[in-house]
Amino acid sequence: MKNAFIGSAVERREDLRFLRGRGEYVDDLRPDGLLYAVILRSSKAHGRIVSIDTTAALKVRGVHAVITAQDMPGGPPIVPMRLQPLPEFKPFEQPVIADGKVRYVGEPMAVVIADSVAIGEDALEAIEVEIDALPAVADWHVAQSGQSLLFEAQGSNRSLTFYAVRGDADAAFASAPYVRRETLRTGRHYGLTMEPRGVMAQWDAAKGRLTVSGAAKVPFFNRRILAKQIGLPEDSIEMIENDVGGGFGARGEFYPEDFLIPFAARHLNRPVKWIEDRRENLMAMNHAREAEVDVEIACERDGTILALRGHIHTDMGAYMRTNGAVGARNIAQFMAGPYRVPNVKLDVSLWMTNKTPVGTYRGPGRFETDFFRERLIDMVAQDLGIDRVALRRKNLIARTEMPYPIATIAPYEHKDEYDSGDYQETLDRCLAEIHWSEKAKLQGRRIDGRYHGLAVGCFIEGGAAGPKETARLAINEDGSISVYIGSSAVGQGVETVFAQIAADALEIPMDRIRGVFHGSTAYVSDGYGAYHSRSVVMGGSALLDAALNFKAALCEAAAQRLGCAASAIVVTEDKVSAPGGTSLPLSAFAGLSREGAFLNKKHTYSYGAQAVHLAVDAKIGQVEILDYVVVVDAGRIINPMTLRGQVIGSLVQGLGGAFLEHLVYDEQGQLLTGSLADYLLPTASDFPNLRAFTMDRHPSPINPLGAKGAGEGGLIGAGGVIANAVANALQSFNPDLRELPLTPSRVWAMTQPRA
Amino acid sequence: MPTKFEVNGKPVSVNVEARTTLADCLRHHLRLTGTHVGCEHGVCGACTVIVDGDAVRSCLMLAAQAEGSKVVTVEGLSNDEALTPLQASFRRHHALQCGFCTPGMITTAHALLSEEPDCDADRVREVLSGNLCRCTGYISIVEAVLDARSAYKKPNGNA
């Protein structure tokens, strides 16, 4: 039987439980004897802890313990970096609980364990804290001044500077006929998940085993960190991935609570659960995106881009968290995007400030740098009098130039290249779908009181980060087959796409794949999880390898039982057959199980184009999107329905970042947007006119599936395209548009006379 | 305090603290964990349940206030055998990803379609704008709700 589940819009298996309220998220767990943790968080952005008096809190009825740094002999453990773990970052890593100093509003200071959340919150009120306030470092400019230091022993608030280099930018600038220099900024927002984070830990004192529920994204890596911190062998800890209410890069990294809750459970020898509330989530989950660039572009008079050069400053918040450096380095490495830029010289300085630490948020650094680049390109087009589309076409990397080497990042990173694709093709499709040529005449026109704007931009999206993923196939008692995989589910539908891939590889119907078990540490020997749009490529390719090993082992076992050569065995739906017509049901081989793996150090690059037609009401700064088109080529597509879901879903997140979402701090480092009434997210009525088109014309040459990671494409281009379209609409006002988000007040201000 | 009401057609009797929300009562006392809590300040809509026919945020209502009411949760809008037409439409349109907001979307959409089976896309968007989804971008949810309207229309054509 020859299958074609890959490429089909198969309805999702996960939906059957989610739609009936039968998902099991970490807060749905409630073992006997469960205690609840609540966390006292710093209300000061920067200061020295003079005292934390827990006496009164411990007297509250129903309180079992109050844990502070004092309870950790040898000091609280430090959370190490997972990605780019450079020695320079070490001194800036976060202790699991404030120790001597607090460095951001929201930093954990004490953990109360009580019979209920409400009692725990009552007890929080009774903790007496004295903090000697220090001057707050509220942004990178203050950080750079060095007037106040977060880490005094370091002598500077800068943790590191990355360099992205290609060719000789200085030489190119020296002889360039045209140069433009701009300062551009992106605001701070984050990968808010609908389900707040949660951890539940159970300690089995007799067996010396720790079970941690609520794991997500990278459970195996987090187990390694926790084992070291808590002093247990890795195999004494089981991390369980429950249903996960959204990841977006932010959830599932190792946070302070991932130590504090297991520590409390072991300390009290009782199950302990902590569920983040939304206010905590806004100040405790990784923030992202806040950056400023001072960048120059050099071009020929005909628009050929010669070089990019400049300085980037990122606001890292108070600590270097597990993946905190990714966004910063991506801004530098991917500023050239899908365009041919032979000379690049960018430095990116990572500044520590008294704000929530940053980490990755879907399209880390890419959303920011695409805004910077696409905005610059529109400015260049205007300066040189060249059509915006023609300018992009001239500079897009051609299919014949693939694989195309990109700027190298120092320190740490090896060389990287774009794997495959025809960037003109997605631009053509995008322009056709939005009817660019017919709409071009609307640019800047005022119709019924609103100004119409148009913009188009091109993007690339990295995926498939290595090094490895593991998968296993096993025969169940009833002869059905289960898939076990190291990839994690964060809502993207991995149970369905892995069942599609497994059914095709084994050439059996999909309903023979009974279960797809993922994430938890018990399922495979080692797992690498879900980040950098890697699950389909890495997990899917590992699954192909597992299928090969599994089939070989099954045929070998069947050959012995049926008395023929292994090569003569035929596997069909639910049985194995020998040439003579003898056969055995698969259930006869129950327990047979084989692992496979996929190793890869290269990245895949999906790509595409986005275009928008919008209208701006200059009187109130309101922008309405009339049509938005995203075209993505993602190589071989496993499930076009879920891919489209990723594109539209990520696009709306990108529009949130372009228009609405903004984590605002005052000069004292106080977070001013601590609720969902202040931190605005897109709703169902905000952006109804969005369209996505997926293409599969250019498979990736670097994995057996030919697939490319593709969970971010809609988001990456949104900021740049929206900014250019608003500037295009308001061209008669000569708007000063150099910063995101484009809140109504900012858009309105652009239409006002400048002082 | 002792409180009696009806959940999914069955009478329940609970003894809760006065400060217990209906959401916490459903989840923790009655173990109906399909109702999700996403913000606890009435913005996200994940905890939406139907109280006496109206879509209500169960995080903003105290359990004690439900005294004598008829409460319907996502579990009460589900069958064991097959998906309901509304649920099947959500699946067909890929109107959910992580599933966390989904119970609130289902209850909100059910309350809307029960009252207004002829509602148009703008009305669906207006009503659903009180329920946040971070995964789908809403387009598919609106399509799913519109596509499920026929299942709510009365046979004689009157809504």
Q: What is the ipTM of this complex?
A: 0.97
Cα-based angle A170, A175, A178 (whole degrees, multiple of 5): 100
Residue A657 banded pLDDT, cuts 50, 70, 90: very high
| Residue B9 shares a structural domain with residue B43 | yes
In this structure, the answer to whether residues B68 and B96 fall within a common structural domain is no
Residue numbers in A near B142 (CB within 8 A): 684, 688
For residue A670, is pLDDT > 90? yes
A14 at B interface, C-beta within 8 A: yes
The CA distance from A216 to A612, in Å, is 35
In a domain, B159, yes or no: no
Taking 80 as the threshold, does the pLDDT of residue A59 lie above it?
yes
> Residues A162-187: what's their mean pLDDT?
97
Residue B158 lies in a domain: no
CA distance A249 to A258: 16
Burial of A32 per CB tally in 10 Å (0-12, 13-18, 19+): exposed
User: With pLDDT > 70 as the criterion, what percentage of chain B qualifies?
Assistant: 97
The per-type count for chain A, helices as H runs and strands as E runs, is: 19, 34
Element (H, E) at A498: helix A494-506
Q: Report CB contact under 8 Å: B98, A21.
A: no
Structural domain contains residue B98: yes
Rounded alpha-carbon distances, angstroms, from residue A579 to A179, A489, A505, A568, B86: 74, 41, 22, 7, 49
Give yes or no: residues B104 and B53 share one domain: no
What would be the CATH architecture of the domain defined by A15-23+466-599?
A: 2-Layer Sandwich (3.30)
pLDDT at A5: 96
Q: Tell me the H-state helices in chain B.
A: 22-24, 85-92, 102-115, 121-128, 139-147
pLDDT tens per residue, range A397-437: 999 999 999 999 988 777 899 999 999 999 999 999 999 99
Predicted pLDDT at B67: 98
List, by residue range, all CATH 3.90.1170.50 domains of chain A: 31-134+196-244+251-284
* CATH T-level topology, domain A287-464+602-750: Aldehyde Oxidoreductase; domain 4 (3.30.365)
pLDDT at A415: 82
In a domain, B111, yes or no: yes
Same domain, B100 and B61: no
Select the more confidently predicted residue: A43 or A3.
A43
Residues B96 and B144 in one domain: yes
Total domain count for chain B?
2
Residue A520 has pLDDT above 90, yes or no: yes
Task: State the pLDDT confidence band at A3, using cuts at 50, 70 and 90.
Answer: confident
Contact B137 A682 (CB under 8 A): yes
B73 and B104 together in one domain: no
Whether domain A31-134+196-244+251-284 has CATH 3.20.20.20: the reply is: no
Quick check: A710 pLDDT over 90?
yes
* B99 and B33 in a common domain: no
pLDDT computed for residue B159 by the predictor: 44
- Are residues B93 and B70 both part of a single domain? no
Say whether pLDDT at A700 is over 60: yes
Domain assignment present for residue B42? The answer is yes
CB–CB contact A651 B137 (8 Å): yes
- Looking at chain A, the whole-number percentage of residues with pLDDT higher than 70 is 99
Q: What is the mean pLDDT of residues B37-50?
A: 98
- Cα-flanking dihedrals φ and ψ of residue A313, to 5°? -125, 125
State mean pLDDT over A163-183.
97
Residues A609, A426 contacting (CB under 8 angstroms): yes
Residue A523: pLDDT above 90? Answer: yes
CB A353 within 8 A of CB A142: yes
**Could you tell me what percent of chain A has a pLDDT over 90?**
96
- What average pLDDT does this structure show over A86-94? 97
pLDDT of residue B154: 82
Q: Final residue of a domain: which of B21, B47, B77?
A: B77
Q: Are residues B130 and B69 in the same domain?
A: no
Name which of A18, A653, A683 is nearest B102 (Cβ-Cβ): A18
Judged by CB atoms closer than 8 Å, whether chains meet at B97 and A688 is answered as: no
Q: Does A280 touch chain B (CB under 8 A)?
A: no
pLDDT at B155: 75
pLDDT level of residue A342 (50, 70, 90 thresholds): very high
Q: Is residue B23 part of a domain?
A: yes
Compute the count of residue pairs across chains A and B with CB atoms less than 8 Å apart: 176
Of B56, B77, B98, which one is at a domain's C-terminal end?
B77
Other beta carbons within 10 Å of A561 = 14
CATH number at residue B108: 1.10.150.120
**What are A188-224's pLDDT values in tens digits?**
999 999 999 999 999 999 999 999 999 999 999 999 9
> Count of H helices and E strands in chain B?
5, 5
B97 lies in the same domain as B119: yes
Are A194 and B43 within 8 A, CB to CB? no
Q: How many CB atoms lie within 10 A of CB A208?
A: 11
Please state the rounded mean pLDDT for residues A58-62: 98
CB contact under 8 A, A194 and B38: yes
The model carries a pTM of 0.97
Confidence of residue A361 (pLDDT cuts 50, 70, 90): very high
Same domain (yes/no): B45, B97? no
Question: Contacts of residue A248 in chain B, CB cutoff 8 Å?
Answer: 134
pLDDT at A203: 98
Task: Say if the Cβ atoms of A645 and B140 lie within 8 Å.
Answer: yes
When the pLDDT of each residue in chain A is averaged and rounded to a whole number, the result is: 97
Per residue in B81-115, pLDDT (tens digit) is 899 999 999 999 999 999 999 999 999 999 999 99
Domain, as residue range, for B105: 85-152
B157, part of any domain: no
- Chain A residue numbers with beta carbons less than 8 Å from the beta carbon of B132 are 194, 676, 681, 683
Q: How much is the pLDDT for A722?
A: 98
Q: Which residue has the higher pLDDT, B81 or A144?
A: A144
Q: How far apart are CA A323 and CA A84, in angstroms?
A: 7
Contacts 24+ apart (CB under 8 A), A441-450: A442/A613, A443/A728, A443/A729, A443/A731, A444/A728, A444/A729, A444/A730, A444/A731, A444/A732, A446/A732, A447/A615, A449/A617, A449/A619, A450/A615, A450/A616, A450/A617, A450/A618, A450/A624
In this predicted structure, the answer to whether residue B158 has a pLDDT above a threshold of 60 is no
Co-location of B6 and B73 in the same domain: yes
CATH number at residue B50: 3.10.20.30
Mean pLDDT of A258-264: 98
Q: Is the pLDDT of residue A153 over 60?
A: yes
